[in-house]
Amino acid sequence: MSFPRTLPAGGDTLPGVANAVAVASAKGGVGKSTVAVNLALALAADGARVGLMDADIYGPSLPLMLGVRDAPEMDGEGRIQPVQVHGLSTMSMGFLAEEDSPVIWRGPLLGQATQQFLQQVNWGELDILLIDLPPGTGDIQLTLSQIVALSGAVIVTTPQSVALEDVERGIAMFDKVEIETLGIIENMCYYLCPHCDERHMLFGEGGGESLAQRAGVDLLGQLPQDDRLRAAGDTGKPLMVTDPTAPQSQAFSEVGRALVRALSELT
């Protein structure tokens, strides 16, 4: 895979990282972290050097979805070494906090943790760093926009009207902080029948495409609602790893390639 570079070479915030992309959702429950994990794995399967940062400090899901609980180590310069799993360089509050212990912090501490994950982690040479944001438009999103130059953001939604309305607010937030929305990923938009391979639109269709056209951004792809994907996330065995040729996995590969094309258009 030939990757563009959309961040300045030798930048002082993310040295060695060619592209930094936020994966966001304006509301919870749309499967954003599932998308972030499988999208990162799809990009890695295509040959990219990929980092995945879990910026959801209150509800880190990366350790569960990737099936890893290793505590990160420090290098000789006092920087945090990202945890390596399935070919990804990863970092999450879930690697640092005790299992099942809540993180009870006020806003300023959230910003400090986000800054540490970005600037004190030795990410190394990466083609792309995906940053899995918490839902909404709060402290972490604002902190991120202030401390690092992002290539852009992708917004994950579902086909329901209430979710699509929230996407417009999410795009407006990124516009205000001068971060380009690279596109929309419509998740859980169809059920792929295991018997006939026919797609069944469970929550209507066309909403993501019409919203993308209205907002002037790309629809990067449509992903299935699938029990295999849910079970894979719950057991820490991502489908992109256990069955990369499955139709569900191939859908993530197509989204990954669409994201690369969107980044190429920035250069």
pLDDT above 80 (res 188): yes
Range from 13-17, 54-58, 95-99 carrying the lowest mean pLDDT:
95-99
Which spans in the chain are helix H?
32-45, 62-66, 107-119, 139-147, 161-176, 207-215, 227-235, 239-242, 247-264
Are the C-beta atoms of residues 219 and 189 closer than 8 Å to each other?
A: no
**What whole-number distance in Å separates Cα of residue 226 and Cα of residue 55?**
25
pLDDT of residue 226: 77
Structure confidence by residue, pLDDT tens digits, 189-231: 877 776 676 776 666 666 677 778 888 889 999 988 877 888 8
Mean pLDDT of the chain: 83
Structure confidence by residue, pLDDT tens digits, 169-186: 888 888 888 889 999 999
**What whole-number distance in Å separates Cα of residue 73 and Cα of residue 91?**
11
pLDDT above 60 (res 167): yes
Give the pLDDT band (50/70/90) at residue 156.
very high
Structure confidence by residue, pLDDT tens digits, 46-69: 999 999 999 887 677 888 899 988
Give, for 90, the enclosing helix (H) or strand (E).
strand 88-92
pLDDT of residue 83: 93
pLDDT of residue 61: 85
pLDDT above 90 (res 253): yes
pLDDT of residue 72: 82
- CATH, domain 20-262, list 3.40.980.10, 3.40.50.300, 3.40.50.1580, 3.40.50.2000: 3.40.50.300
pLDDT of residue 98: 58
Phi (first) and psi of residue 151, to 5 degrees: -65, -35
Instruction: Locate the domains of the chain by residue range.
Output: 20-262
Which of 1-10, 171-180, 258-267 has the highest average model confidence (pLDDT)?
258-267
**The pTM of the whole model exceeds 0.85:** yes
pLDDT of residue 96: 73
Q: Encoding tokens for residue 214?
A: 């209205």
